Amino acid sequence: MPPALIEAFAYVKKSAAIVNMTYGLDPKIGQAICQAADEVISGKLSDHFPLVVFQTGSGTQTNMNVNEVISNRAIEILGGEKGSKKPVHPNDHVNMSQPSNDTFPTAMHVAAVFQITRNLIPALESLIRAIGAKRVEFDSIIKIGRTHLQDATPLTLGQEFSGYEQQLINGLARGGTAVGTGLNTKSGFAEAIAKEITQQTGIPFETAPNKFEALASHDAIVETSGALNVLAVSAMKIANDIRFLGSGARCGLGQLSLPENEPGSSIMPGKVNPTQSYDCRNTGPDPSPQQPPRKLARYIRQDPAAKRAADKQARTLTVKAQPKRQTRFKTLTLAERLGPQTQEELLARTLEATATTPDPAESFCQNKTKLLR
């Protein structure tokens, strides 16, 4: 299982133990559970989670795996014999008031928020700042515009980069919303868990307003996946444009001078490959067949409890968790190495070459007049 999901599970178990102590759980046992959960969160016990994402049910195996690891470690902390289930029982204590139908979707949402807030958003903000700096730098540089790759009316290079900047800002707004937590078995338990997870992680969570909807569907995950896909398309488009504007340098557009991050060619000296653009393009939109099933899974389930459906949703999220780490890395790499400089002399020449071209509206009117004559 992805480490972020195991970490999220441990936060759920720790928060549940804290809340359960207010419902009568022995504080001695509760504190031992919290200490063991902290060790899981730190990664100290990561070798004890061998399961893969392909599971039956609604993630019951992983839930029990987490329960047993925390239980055995808590037993050790209290001086008991590991495997004895005394004095800390994996079901009666660690899993108190937490069926798998609730805990796995909760951990799934928490893990998604962890990945987005810790990795993707900071990298995206860095890229926005880098492109914004280039927008300011290129604000006074006029170039010829293009439609259908043909010469069109002029614009500033800064205006062109402002479009890239706004694309990413929109993506940040779409992907920056938090998704909620799970369900409850006692009155007020869900609200208390959400409050405790918020306190433990510093990220605001809230319980699902309608527990039936939350159990039967995972629309927030579907929406998040879609937002990330849109962001990937934006990044791919920006990378392609920078690559195209820097093509050449003698026989292409050559309007941007790309940074020489790696030697280009052993037989073509001076050739600069757009490696960072290619690197970013590799994390583009998800072409796999996972995307449509994410949207359709909620419509094809027959079991209201959605036991297998929840697991399928979890698998699609966790399987995709690895590429999202790549997306964060590639986005950050592009931001750190976004160093195109303008070929101002070339831009001026191309602008001058098209200066005698009549304005499209004027040209249209002239042609219309000829037709009328």
Could you report the per-residue pLDDT of 310-364, keeping only the tens digit for each? 444 444 343 343 444 444 444 545 555 555 666 677 667 666 666 544 455 555 4
Mean pLDDT of 207-218: 75
- DSSP secondary structure letters along 126-146: HHHHHHHHHHHHTTT-EEEEE
Contact 60, 44 (CB under 8 A): no
DSSP-derived letter for residue 116 is I
Decide if pLDDT at 120 tops 90: no
What mean pLDDT is predicted for residues 134-141?
A: 91
Tell whether the model's pLDDT for residue 85 goes beyond 50.
yes
Mean pLDDT of 36-52: 96
pLDDT digits (tens, 9 = 90+) for 268-308: 777 778 888 877 777 666 555 455 544 444 433 434 344 44
User: If you search the block for the tokens 């699902």, which residue do you land on?
Assistant: 208
Domain shared by 92 and 127, yes or no: no
The CATH number of residue 91's host domain is 1.10.275.10
Token pair recorded at residue 373: 């004559």
Q: Which domain holds residue 299?
A: 112-353
Do residue 127 and residue 93 come from a single domain?
no
Indicate if 180 and 231 belong to the same structural domain.
Answer: yes
Cα–Cα distance for residue pair 172/323, rounded to 1 Å:
18
Does residue 307 belong to any structural domain of this protein? yes
Catalytic position from the list 265, 277, 288, 363: 265
* Structural domain total, the chain: 2
User: Model pTM?
Assistant: 0.73
| 265 catalytic residue (yes or no) | yes
Is 262 part of a structural domain of the chain? Answer: yes
Q: Which residues are CB-contacts of 214 (< 8 A; sequence separation ≥ 6)?
A: 105, 180, 182, 183, 208
Kindly state whether residues 84 and 118 are assigned to the same domain. Answer: no
Cβ neighbors of 219 (< 8 A, separation 6 or more) are: 213, 298
Task: Read off the DSSP letter of residue 82.
Answer: T
Q: Is 165 in the same domain as 258?
A: yes
Q: Is residue 19 situated within a structural domain?
A: yes
Burial annotation 209-246 (CB, 10 A radius, 16+ → b, else e): eeeeebbbbbebbbbbbebbbbbbebbbebbbbbbbbb
Indicate whether 147 and 84 sit together in one domain. no
Q: Does a structural domain hold residue 133?
A: yes
Rounded mean pLDDT of 186-212?
84
264, with CB counted inside 10 A (0-12, 13-18, 19+), is: middle
Catalytic residue flag (residue 148): yes
- pLDDT at position 230: 85
Widest CA span of the chain, in angstroms? 102
User: What is the DSSP-derived secondary structure letter of residue 52?
Assistant: -
Same domain, 94 and 118: no
Annotated catalytic residue, options 148, 187, 217, 218: 148
Output the CA torsion sign for 54, 57, 61, 67.
positive
